[in-house]
Structure formats: structure tokens, C-alpha cells
Amino acid sequence: MNIVLLGPPGAGKGTQAESMTHALGIPQVSTGDIIRATITERTPLGTEFRAFADAGSLVPDCLIERLVDERLARADCRGGFMLDGFPRTVAQAEWLGSMLARHGRPLTHVVLFDVDDAIILERIAGRVSDPATGQIYHVSFDPPPPGIASRLIHRQDDNAEVLIRRLQEYHEKTAPLVPYYERLGLLRRIDAFGRVTDVTRRVFAAIGVDAPAQTWQPG
Ligand code: ADP
Ligand code: AMP
């Protein structure tokens, strides 16, 4: 399966990608994670990315497309992949479509996470992650286990001011992908509000796969 997870920041894409990766055996390719890893390397490209990410703006298409191309060429993506956070513009979607067509591995599903901006605000405000495992938690909705609080990080761009800009970018530049993928017959819309396990069931139903009996727990 070659899947795109589409939806605003904080919709729960990364959270669902974890159980999907485990159940489907295909990697999650998160462009946000790739960009944050590049920023950490402190290269000139990382410095350029930082300015965009800190402001909540999208990085230029050509820069991110190159990184996606390299990532999807890796061996672990041969049996399928799950793109999270890419494409985010119609230009990126067109580039992706042509690139995948050239390689004879077209997209099979685009899952749209439908959720209100008010819910997103709550989810982003409480999002923390464990740098040691990459696991995402929410301080109220999915609290981390005791004993790891000191190493948890709250993303720098997960604050109310930057979120406004990120949501603007989503509504202006990414939302047009909904009719774009609808026209291609690939869009599967799911209600992303509700308990994580309920959303998991909806995602699996949308891609036509039996949901795992229970949500996968890391470690
Ligand atoms: P995205 O990858 O779409 O940006 P995340 O998966 O990181 O979103 O989720 C954002 C925050 O919301 C995280 O703190 C996560 O724990 C929490 N979250 C995810 N799904 C749900 C849900 N169904 N109900 C409540 N909180 C959720
Ligand atoms: P995310 O982790 O998906 O919320 O992405 C964090 C930040 O990385 C975004 O606010 C953008 O600055 C950048 N980014 C991630 N994916 C893309 C993309 N497909 N196109 C442009 N910028 C992106």
C-alpha cells in the first residue's frame, strides 16, 4: 500500500501512523520529522529549514521534494510507504504523482483526518514526545508513563502563535488537496475526533484492512 495521511497539524496522523506501521509493515515517512532531523544537523540546509519551521511556514517545494525522493528510494519503502505531512501543496502532489508514476508505484489511498481547529488547538498545546523512542503523548489525553517526564520535549512550533500561521498555511495551501485527490478517486475521509482507538478503527476501515485487535503499544 502507498498511503498519504492528509490533515491539519495535530489531527493525529503521527499517532495513527504508529499502529499502521506496525500492522501493515510499511514505514511512516514524516516530512516534519525529516525536516527536524535536518535542523538538528546544523547544516546550511538545516538553518534554512529552521527559519521556515519556526515561523510555521511551509519550506519551499523543491527542497522538500528532493528529500522525499531520496527517502522513498530507500529499501524499506519498496513494499509500500505511508507519507505523513507530504504533499502539502498541489505542486507537491503533482510532483509526487509524476515521480510515483515513473516508478510504477502509484498511491493507493489518501486518508483525510477531519477535525475542527478548536480540537487541534487542545491537541497541539498538550503534545509532548520522547526523543529516546519518538513516541508521541498528550499530557491529558494520552499521558506519558511515570519516570520519563524529564526527558519529554514540547515542540518549539507547538505554541498558539505559530499554530495560527500553520493552520493558515494548511487552509490556504494544503486543503486544496482534498478536491484534488477526490477527483483522482483516492480520498478516504475519516472523522479524527474521538478516542485514539476509535480513530484507529476508522482509519483501517478506510483503507479496507481489518483493524488490529488492540492498539499496538511500543516497547
Ligand atoms: P499530527 O501528526 O497530525 O500532527 P499527532 O499524532 O502528533 O498529530 O497528535 C497531536 C496530539 O494529539 C498528540 O499529543 C497526540 O497524543 C494527541 N492525539 C492524537 N490523537 C488523538 C485523539 N484521537 N484524541 C485525543 N488526543 C489525540
Ligand atoms: P509537521 O511536523 O508535519 O507539523 O511539520 C513541521 C514543519 O515542517 C512545518 O510547519 C513546515 O515548516 C515543515 N514541513 C513539513 N512538511 C512539509 C511539506 N510537505 N512542505 C513544506 N513544509 C513542510
**CB 196, CB 85: distance < 8 Å:** no
Summarize pLDDT for 42-97 with one digit per residue, the tens. Answer: 899 999 999 999 999 999 999 999 999 999 999 999 999 999 999 999 999 999 99
- Distance separating alpha carbons of residues 23 and 206, to the nearest angstrom: 15
Q: Which ligand is nearest to the CA of 13?
A: 1
Respond yes or no: is residue 173 known to be catalytic.
Answer: no
Name the DSSP class of 153: B
Decide: pTM greater than 0.85. yes
Q: Which ligand is nearest to the CA of 163?
A: 2
Residue among 3, 15, 153, 158 whose CB has most ligand 1 atoms within 8 A, to mutate: 15
Summarize pLDDT for 108-133 with one digit per residue, the tens. Answer: 999 999 999 999 999 999 999 999 99
